[in-house]
Chain A
Amino acid sequence: MSDPVSVERPVTRNGSRGGSASTSDAEAKISSNVQGAGGPPTGTTAPAKVITRPGDRIFKALTVGSGVFVVVMIALIGIFLLIQAIPSLTENKANFLFSRDWSADPADLAFGVLDLLLVTVFSSVFALLIAMPVSLGIALFLTQYAPRKLARPFAYVIDLLAAVPSIIYGLWGAYVLAPAMGPFTKWLNDTLGFIPIFAKGSSDLGIGQTIFTAGIVLAVMLLPIITAISREVFDRTPPMQVEGALALGATKWEVVRTTVLPFGKAGYISASMLGLGRALGETIAVLIILSATTQHFSWTLFDGGDTIASKIARAAQEFNDPRGAGAYIAAGLVLFVLTFVVNAFARAIIAGHKEYE
C-alpha cells in the first residue's frame, strides 16, 4: 500500500516534519527500501534482500495461528448449530422461515422463525436509529468542541455505560423506564395512532413493556460502543486537512462538515454496524423488558413479543428433549446468519471508501 504523499512529494514530507537536512538523504533511501518495487529508485542503492530472523518467523506463526484459530472457532460454532438443528428441522411440520407460530413441543414440532426475526430486526433498527445521532453528537463534542480537560472525564463516563451489566439495564428498563414512559407513549398513541408503527399493540401502555421501551434501553447500551469507536476515528482526521480548512476561513461547523465527517464516515458506519450486532444479540435485557404475547407481530412499536435471543433464554431451563432444544438452536442459527449478513453489508459500505482507510 503506497502512501501517496511520500512518493510524490518526498521533499515536502521531510520539510513539513521540520527534520534536519543531514537526515533527509538517509530517510529518502529508507523510505524507498520500505516501499520495495513500487518506490522510485534512488540510483545509489540496489533493492535490499528481505532479512528474517527467528523472531520474525515465530511472530508470523503466532499471528497467522490466531487468525486461523478465530476462523476455525466460528466455523465450529456454525457446525454445532447445524448438527443440533437439523433433526428438529426435518421433523418440523410448519414452514421454518415463513410460519409465525412457535410450538417446540417434541411431540408436535411446528415452529417458524418469522415473528421472532421481525421483532429482532425491528427493535434493533429502532434502537440504532435512536443511538446513531446521539453517538455522533457525543463523539463530535468530545473530539472537536470540548476542552481537553473536560473531554477525558466525560469519555470515562460514557465508557462506564458499557460496564453496566445488561441485567441491570433490563431491570431499570422494566421497572423504572417503562412506567415513566407511560404518559408519553399514550400521547403518541392518541395523536399519531393512525401511523402503523404507533398503533395499539399487544402490550398494555400503562405497564410499558413494549418494543418502544426495549428499543430505548438497547439504544443506551449501544451508545458507548458507537461513541468509543467514532471518537477514535474522528481523532485520526489528518490535522493538515483540518488546518487547511481553518486557513481557508471555515467556521468550526464547516470544518467538521468538510473534513472530519467525510473522513470518519466509514469508521462511523462500521461502529454503528458493530452496535447493531450487539443489539441483535442482546438477551437478558430484552427478556426482562419485553412482555411475551399470544398475538403475532403487527409492525407497531407498542407490541410485546420475543426476539430470537430472548425466546431461547426463556426456554433454556427446560431443554430436556434434544428435538425441542433443536428448534431453539435452529432459531439461533438464523440469528448467526443474520449477523453475518449485517457485517457483510457493513464491509460493503466501507469498501467504497478505501481512500480514507
Chain B
Amino acid sequence: MNIKRHASVLSLIAVGALALTACGSDSNTPAGSNNSAAPAPTKTAEVECGGKKDLVAEGSSAQKGAIEAFTAAYVAKCPGQQLAYTPSGSGAGVKQFNAGIVDIGGSDSALNKDKGEVDAAATRCKSNPAWNLPLVFGPVGIAYKVDGVKDLVLTPEVTAKIFNGGIAKWNDPAIAAVNKGATLPDTAIIVIFRADESGTTDNFQKYLKASAKDAWGKDAGKKFNGGVGQGAQGSAGIADAISAGNGTIGYIEWSYVQDKKLSAAKIDSGAGPVELGAEGAAAAIKSAKIKGTGNDLVIDLDALYASKTAGAYPLVLATYEIVCSKGYDADTAKAVKAFLTTAATDGQAALADAGYVPLPNEFQEKLLTAIKAIS
C-alpha cells in the first residue's frame, strides 16, 4: 500500500508551505529616492473625522500611487475610516461616478461637456454641478535607452518629430543640434507607445500639440496617433520594453522612470534644459492657470504645456478627483471632505517618494476652499 508514502509527501509539502510563509517582511513602506527638493506644504489641517466608514473611489491608474499615499494618511488621521480605490482607467472612473456607484471619480482629464459627462454628473449630484479637483500632479518622463548617450536634451519640436516618424535615426542633425558634444549612434529610433487607451497618452499628445504645434500635426486622444513604433501594455510594459531594447524611447510616469532606473530626457522649451523632477514640475504648476469657474478647478492645460517659463518642466499630468459640490448624503459628504482635506495636507508629504509632485501653496489654498464648500 502506498498510503504511507503519499501521506508523507503531502505532509512534507504542507510543512514546507507553512515554513515558507514565515519568509518575507511585513514592511510596506515604499522604497523611494530622495526627491523631496520641492517644498511640500506642511500644513496639517483640522479634519472632522466621521461619516461613511468605507468610501469607494475608482478611476485613473496614473494616480494610483498617490491615492495609496492619501489613504494611508487618511487612515492614520481618522482611525476606522477606509477608502477603496480601483485603478480601472479614467473612463471607467467617470462612468461609475456618473452612475452613482462610487463616491469619488479619479480621471486624467476633466469631465467632457461634448460627451455629456458634465450633464450626467450634474444629474448624479441631484442637479448640482460636479467639481474637478486636481489633487495629483505627476510629471511624465521621456525615457530612453541609447548606447553611449547619457544626457539627452530634447526640444518640443524634436520630440514631436521623433514620435511621429519625422526623425528616424538617433544621429539625425536635428537631435545633434540640441545635443552639442554628444556622440549619437547611427541606430534606428524605436518608439514605444501605450497599446491600451490611456490618459498618459492623451496628455502627452496634448503636450506635443500645444508646444510643438505644426511639428506634431496629429490629434490628441487616448490612443497614440503618431503612426510609428510598437506598443506595450501599460506603463510597466513600456518601461520594460525600453530597458530590453537598444535605441528605444517612450513616455512613462516619473515613478516608473525611478523604479526601473531609466534615463529621462531633459526638456528645453526655449529657456534651457530642465530635467525631470519635482522642482521643474512645481515651477510649471505654479504658473498654471485655472480655466474652470468658481470652485471647479479645471486647469488650462494648453497654456501649461505651451509655457516657456525658465526652470519649468511642462510635461505634467494633472489628475482630477471628481466630486459633487452638493448632493451627497450627509455621511458621505463628511467622509469625502475628511479624505480630501487630509489628502491636500498631510497626504502631500509622502508624494515625492511615490513619483508625484506635492501641491504648491497657492494651489493648496484654492483646493482647501473648494473642499470646504462641499456639502
Chain A residues with CB under 8 Å of chain B are 174-175, 178-179, 202-204, 206-209, 287-288, 291-294, 304, 314-315, 317-318, 320
Contact = CB atoms under 8 A, between A and B. Distances in A.
B241 A317 contact: no
10 contacts: A206-B244, A209-B232, A288-B233, A291-B230, A293-B230, A293-B231, A294-B226, A294-B227, A314-B195, A317-B197
B245 A207 contact: yes
A178 to B, nearest CB: 7
Contacts of B222: 318
Interface string B217-232: 0000010001111111
Q: Which 9 A-B pairs have the closest CB atoms?
A: A292-B231, A292-B195, A291-B230, A207-B245, A317-B89, A318-B91, A207-B244, A318-B197, A206-B245
State which size class the interface on B falls in: 20 to 34
Among A174, A202, A207, A304, chain B packs the most CB atoms within 10 A around the CB of A207
B213 to A, nearest CB: 23
A168 B230 CA distance: 22
A314 B227 CA distance: 18
Contact of A291 (B195, B197, B226, B228): B195
B51 to A, nearest CB: 30
A322 B246 CA distance: 41
Contacts of A294: 226-229
B92 interface: yes
A209 B241 CA distance: 9
B135 to A, nearest CB: 22
Given A206-B245, A207-B248, A314 B233 contact: yes
B232 A291 contact: yes
Which of A174, A175, A178, A209 is packed against the most chain B CB atoms within 10 Å?
A: A209
Interface string B69-98: 000000000000000000011011001000
Contacts of B228: 294
A77 B230 CA distance: 34
A287 B95 CA distance: 25
The residue in A179, A204, A206 that gathers the most chain B C-beta atoms within 10 A of its C-beta is A204
Contacts of B91: 317-318, 320
Contacts of A304: 230-231
Given A315-B197, A317-B91, A318-B222, A287 B244 contact: no
Contacts of A291: 195, 230-232, 241
B92 A317 contact: yes
A206 B246 contact: yes
A174 B228 CA distance: 21
A294 B190 CA distance: 13
A44 B306 CA distance: 104
A174 B233 CA distance: 11
Interface in B135-191: 190
A208 B230 CA distance: 11
A198 to B, nearest CB: 18
Interface in B96-114: none
Contacts of A208: 244
A78 B64 CA distance: 38
Given A208-B244, A304-B231, A314-B197, 10 more contacts: A204-B245, A206-B245, A209-B241, A291-B230, A291-B241, A292-B231, A292-B232, A318-B89, A320-B91, A320-B92
Contact of A287 (B92, B227, B233): B233
A320 B88 CA distance: 12
A314 B234 CA distance: 10
Nearest to A315: B197
Nearest to A202: B230
B360 interface: no
Interface centre among B195, B228, B230 (most CB of A within 10 A): B230
A336 B154 CA distance: 48
A194 B284 CA distance: 52
A203 to B, nearest CB: 5
A37 B171 CA distance: 87
B240 interface: yes
A294 B244 CA distance: 20
B41 interface: no
B237 interface: yes
Nearest to A311: B195
Contacts of A178: 244
Interface in B4-53: none
B259 interface: no
A202 B195 CA distance: 14
B196 interface: yes
A292 B246 contact: no
